[in-house]
A and B are shown apart, each in its own frame.
Chain A
Amino acid sequence: QSALTQPASVSGSPGQSITISCTGTSSDVGGYNYVSWYQQHPGKAPKLMIYDVSNRPSGVSNRFSGSKSGNTASLTISGLQAEDEADYYCSSYTSSSLWVFGGGTKLTVL
């Protein structure tokens, strides 16, 4: 199962909005609404930020939002803050009843 495709890096200034894409196929991202997003700070465990494409767990800022169009899912962070600087990973359920991650995107807040 191939990994989902994410940009290696994105950047933005405080207060701006950024979007991270996660591209798969009709056998994973495009076929199921089970895309989730994780934030990982250095040396820490990943943290669930978005599940099932667009749902936010309790306690996650509403500055984080998710969406999907076709085979591409997206994570948007609005009102960028310094604390948002981290690595972000997407994940999707697949037609083989397996799970696959994206390669990760490093977000830099300028």
Chain B
Amino acid sequence: QVQLQESGPGLVKPSETLSLTCTVSGGSVSSGSYYWSWIRQPPGKGLEWIGYIYYSGSTNYNPSLKSRVTISVDTSKNQFSLKLSSVTAADTAVYYCARGPHYYDSSGGWDYWGQGTLVTVSS
């Protein structure tokens, strides 16, 4: 059973950089079959796709966040990470890491999710 777990600070100051890590167990980020994604949800609002990474390091980002987002992967630790710079209160959200979609044809959706971590942007 694949499990994902987000970790990182729950409080970030405005203008600083939000940093989160997703640790994968029961599976490998290097499997080659999947992209590994970040998705967020502001309190009381809907889901927003942030972006994804392949184990090789290739990435794809939501254009609305692209100038501020960096997703990276550490295959030796079976982890992938999110950095979001110059944060504002609008970036306050529950941040989820998830497995998917499939690398070869972008099918399959996001089949395994972390429990999510609330990041609040406030001074």
A-side residues, CB < 8 A to B, are 1, 3, 33-34, 36, 38, 44-48, 50-52, 57, 89, 91, 93, 96-104
What band does the interface of chain B fall in when counting residues whose beta carbon is under 8 Å from A?
A: 20 to 34
| Pair A93/B106 contact, Cβ less than 8 Å | yes
Q: B113 touches which one: A1, A33, A46, A89 (CB < 8 A)?
A: A46
B-side residues, CB < 8 A to A, are 46-49, 60, 62-64, 96, 101, 106-111, 113-116
Cα separation A3 to B88 with both chains bound (whole Å): 22
Chain B binding site: helix, strand, loop or mixed by DSSP?
A: loop
| Pair A45/B114 contact, Cβ less than 8 Å | yes
Could you give 11 example pairs across A and B, Cβ below 8 Å?
A34-B107, A34-B109, A36-B109, A38-B110, A45-B113, A48-B109, A89-B46, A97-B106, A99-B49, A101-B49, A102-B46
| Pair B107/A51 contact, Cβ less than 8 Å | yes
Residues from chain B with a CB closer than 8 A to the CB of A3 are 46
Least CB distance, B1 to chain A, in whole angstroms: 11
